[in-house]
Structure 1
Amino acid sequence: MTGVEVFEGQRSRMFGLAYRMLGSAAEAEDVVQDAFLRWHRADLDAIDTPAAWLTKVVTNLCLSRLSSARMRRESYVGPWLPEPVRTGDGALGPLETVEQRELVSLGVLVVLERLTAAERAVFVLREAFGYQHREIAGVLDVDEVRSRQLYARARRHVAEARRRFPADRERHAEIVRRFFAAAVEGDVAGLTELLAEDVVSWSDGGGKATAARRPIVGRDKVLRYLGGFRQRPEFAQVDSEFAEVNGQLAVLLRWGGALAAVFVPEVDGDRVTALRSIINPDKLHAVANLRSP
C-alpha cells in the first residue's frame, strides 16, 4: 500500500477529529490538507502506526488554530454557530447511538467552544474516538494524571449543558416535522404546544445575511419571531426539505434553488428547547448539495 493510500484510508477519521475540534468543516478540510503535506514530507518507514502519528499531527494542528479561531469569533457579527455538515453519508463516522449523534450536534459543539483547547482535545479523543488516557497523554505530550484532570473538567461542563431527556431518533424526527409544519401553517396553538417555555433561538448570519444579532429567549418572543419570518415576502418562494445534519433532522431552506438556510431544532423530551439557524452563506457549502434520500 502506498503512502497516499494509507493517508486516504485515514482521511475520514482525520476530518471527523478536526471538525469536532474546530466546529468548522472548511477549517477541518484545511487541517487535513496540512496533515497530508506533513505526511508527504515524513519518513514513512520510521512511522510504526500511521493512525497514531496522524492523530497527533491533526490534534496539534487544531490546537494551533483554536486560539486564532476564538479571537475571530469574539469579533463575529451576531451569534456564532458551528458550520453544519451532512452526516447521513457517514462524513463524521458512525452515529448509531443517541450519544454519538449528540456529540456532533450543534448544541454540544457550542458547549465545546467554552472549554480550553486542551480540555476539548481530551474530551473529543476520549468520547468520540475511545482513546485511553495513556494514548491521549502521548498525543498531547502530558502525563496520564493531567489527561484525566482535563477530561473530568470537560465532561462536567458538557454534562451540565446536555439535554436531560433526549428523544429517540423517531420521536425527535416526529417533533421536528410537526414543528416545521406548524411554523409553515402559522399554527400558533401547535407551536405553543411544541415550544418549551424557555426556548432560545439563535441565528447565525455573520453580518452577511439578515439575522437577529442576539439570541431570542422565551416562547412568546420566539413565536413573534417565527410569525415575522412567515410574513416576509420571500417566504412564498421558499422550498424546504428535511435532511440529516450533525446527526439530527434539520430543515434546508432554498431560495431560487440555492441553499439559503439550515434550520436545526433541538428537542428535549417532547418540546423544542432551541432553534439554531445558520444563514451565513460562508457556512453553507458543506450541505449546499445535500438532498433528502
Structure 2
Amino acid sequence: MTAVDEHEWLTQRFEEHRTRLRAVAYRMLGSVSEADDAVQDAWLRVSRADTGAVENIGGWLTTVVARVCLNVLRSRERRREEPLDVRLPEPVISREPGDDPEHAAVLADSVGLALLVVLETLTPAERLAFVLHDMFAVPFEEIAPMVERSPAAARQLASRARRRVRGQAPVPDPDHARQREVVEAFFAAARDGDFDALVAVLHPDVVLRSDGGPGSRHTVVLTGAETVAGQAVTFGRLYPFMRPALVNGAAGAVVAAQGRPISVMGFTVTDGRIVAVDVLSDPDRLRRLDLAGLDA
C-alpha cells in the first residue's frame, strides 16, 4: 500500500468512527464544541502516526481521542483557580425527538444533564475510566496505560465513579410526553405565581443548579421543593420568552429575548416529578450553542 493509499484508507476509517469518537469526547468533556476540537486534534495525531501494527482501528482511535480529552480535563483543572460551586456542561439543544440525527448520535444512551453534572465532579482519571468502560465497554487493560495505573487500579477508579453516579444522577422517565406535561405544569405555576402548584410538581429533594459563569453571582445550588419553588416564582416573568426544547434529549426550554439567548433550562423528571433543574446562563457558553430553528 502506497503512502497515498494508506492515508486515504485511514481517512475513511476515521470518518466511519467519527460519530462514536464525538460521543466519547462529549461524555468526557461535557461540551460539543470541545468534543469537536478533541476529535479534530485526534485526527491530526492519527494522520501522522504509523498504523502498520494497529489491529483494532476502532479501539485505537477511541484511545487516541480519550488521551486528548484526558489532557483537556487535566488542563481545565490546573486553570481553575477556585472551584465553582457548580459547573454545568454544554447542553445539546433540539426541538423534538429524532429531529437531529447528529445530536441523537452524540446523546445515544440518554446522556442527561444530571449525569453530566456528576461527571464534572469526578477526577479526570475517574471520568475516563467510567466513560470508557461503562459507556463504551473498553477493557481495563486498555484503560490502565492511559491513566498510568494497573488494570486493577483502573477498575477501582471506575467503581468509585459508578457509585457517585448511582447516588447522584437520577434516571429520567423515558416518556417524553410525560416529561413535557410535568415541565409545562411547572412553567404554568411559575407564570401564575402558584407556590403550592410548584411544590406539587417538585420532588421533595429536588436540586436546582444555576451556572452563570466564572465569578458570577448567579452561580448557585438550591435544594428542597419549597426552596426551589420560591426561586421558581421569579421565572414567571420570563414565561413569554420561553421556547420549549429538548435539552440533552429531555424536556426543557430556551429563554430568549429578541433573538438573544438568556438561559437554557434542563429538567430531569422521574416518576412524574421534577428531581433536578439545571440552568445555564453563562453568556459566553450560550453564544456557542446551536439554537437555530427554535423559533420556527
Q: Tell me the TM-score range normalised by the shorter chain.
A: 0.7 to 0.9
Quote the Cα distance in structure 2 between the aligned partners of 1:75 and 1:15: 29
Mapping for residues 126-137 of structure 1, pairs under 5 Å: 126-137=133-144
Mapping for residues 150-189 of structure 1, pairs under 5 Å: 150-163=157-170, 166-170=172-176, 171-189=178-196
**Cα-to-partner distance string for 1:92-114 (whole Å, 9 max, x where unaligned):** 63766xxx21xx21111121122
Q: Which residue in 2 is equivalent to 1:289?
A: 292
Task: Confirm whether residue 54 of structure 1 aligns to residue 61 of structure 2.
Answer: yes
Q: 177-186 or 56-65: which moved more?
A: 177-186
Aligned residue identity for 1:288 = L
Q: Which residue in 2 is equivalent to 1:216?
A: 222
Q: 1:121 to 1:292 in 2, by over 3 A?
A: farther
Q: Which residue in 1 is equivalent to 2:250?
A: 248
| Shift of residue 142, structure 1, vs aligned partner | 4.6
Aligned residue identity for 1:126 = H
Quote the Cα distance in structure 1 between the aligned partners of 2:18 and 2:74: 24
| Shift of residue 45, structure 1, vs aligned partner | 4.1
Contact 1:78-1:205 within 8 A present in 2 as well: no
Mapping for residues 251-270 of structure 1, pairs under 5 Å: 251-270=253-272
Quote the Cα distance in structure 2 between the aligned partners of 1:289 and 1:168: 26
**Cα-to-partner distance string for 1:191-230 (whole Å, 9 max, x where unaligned):** 121122332222111159x762322333333223222333
Quote the Cα distance in structure 2 between the aligned partners of 1:291 and 1:236: 15
Segments of structure 1 that go 5 or more residues without pairing to the other structure are none
Q: 1:45 to 1:25 in 2, by over 3 A?
A: same
Segments of structure 2 that go 5 or more residues without pairing to the other structure are 1-7
Q: Which residue in 2 is equivalent to 1:91?
A: 103
Q: Which residue in 1 is equivalent to 2:5?
A: none
Q: Which residue in 2 is equivalent to 1:22?
A: 29
| Shift of residue 36, structure 1, vs aligned partner | 1.1
Aligned residue identity for 2:20 = R
Secondary structure of 2:209's counterpart equals strand
Identity of aligned residues (%): 38
Q: Which residue in 1 is equivalent to 2:277?
A: 275
Quote the Cα distance in structure 2 between the aligned partners of 1:190 and 1:47: 59
Secondary structure of 1:275's counterpart equals strand
Aligned residues: 282
Quote the Cα distance in structure 1 between the aligned partners of 2:192 and 2:9: 56
| Shift of residue 161, structure 1, vs aligned partner | 1.3
Aligned residue identity for 2:281 = I
Q: 1:153 to 1:198 in 2, by over 3 A?
A: closer
Task: Confirm whether residue 111 of structure 1 aligns to residue 112 of structure 2.
Answer: no
What TM-score does the superposition give when structure 1 sets the normalisation length?
A: 0.83
Q: 1:226 aligns with which of 217, 221, 232?
A: 232
Q: Which residue in 1 is equivalent to 2:3?
A: none
Contact 1:122-1:150 within 8 A present in 2 as well: yes
